[in-house]
A = this chain, B = another copy of it.
Amino acid sequence: MPRLRQFDERQVVEQAVRLFLQNGYHATSTRDLGEALGLNPSSLYRTFGDKRGLYLRALDRYLASEGERAAAVLAEPGSVRDRLRALMLTTLNELPGQTDDTPFGCLVLNTASELGAGDPEASKRIHAAFEGAKAGVNQLLQHGIETGELPADTDVTAVADLVSTTLIGLRVRKRAGETKAALHATVDYAIRALG
């Protein structure tokens, strides 16, 4: 019955992710979004409700793609150490289009820092992301114990907690503009610390 939508919603949300990654929530105006997404205000508001709605959609999209990315890395063959290293390194990869002087960082962590725990919907997603990361590392470590790569008495919970906390630190340091060399060195230290 109706007229068809003239834009790809998914593509639009992904573009919104980029904008929010670059400038954060408050510094990205609905006009910026409309222009970059090729949407006029009425389309934007009809589709996403309001700016916060679009932000949460972008956050969801980001979580999904990051989750896929992490799962793919963890599912690869190879030693646990290699996969853990790969996991850390992929979180440091650049999205195409971002420059070195304005690294994007992680939308989850940027959200946590900018909005704090004030927005309940955002908080839910942040904590889900934290738990997901920890669970992934946990599972990987467990696998390492089973194959004998890691000592049987490894405190999986503790190490997974530390590794995921280190991952957070790494991504914030990246957002702050630290060099790849420095971040890669930290990754090496972390792998080596596994013993």
Contact = CB atoms under 8 A, between A and B. Distances in A.
Interface residues of A, number: 47
A177 interface: yes
A26 B26 CA distance: 6
27 contacts: A24-B114, A24-B116, A26-B26, A102-B116, A102-B117, A104-B116, A105-B113, A109-B113, A110-B113, A110-B114, A112-B172, A113-B114, A113-B172, A116-B176, A123-B176, A126-B176, A127-B178, A130-B173, A158-B188, A158-B193, A161-B185, A161-B186, A162-B189, A162-B193, A165-B186, A166-B166, A193-B193
The binding surface of chain A is classed by DSSP as: helix
Interface of A: 22, 24, 26-27, 101-105, 109-110, 112-118, 123, 126-127, 130, 155, 158-159, 161-162, 164-170, 172-173, 175-178, 185-186, 188-190, 192-193
Given A26-B26, A114-B110, A176 B130 contact: yes
A113 B114 CA distance: 7
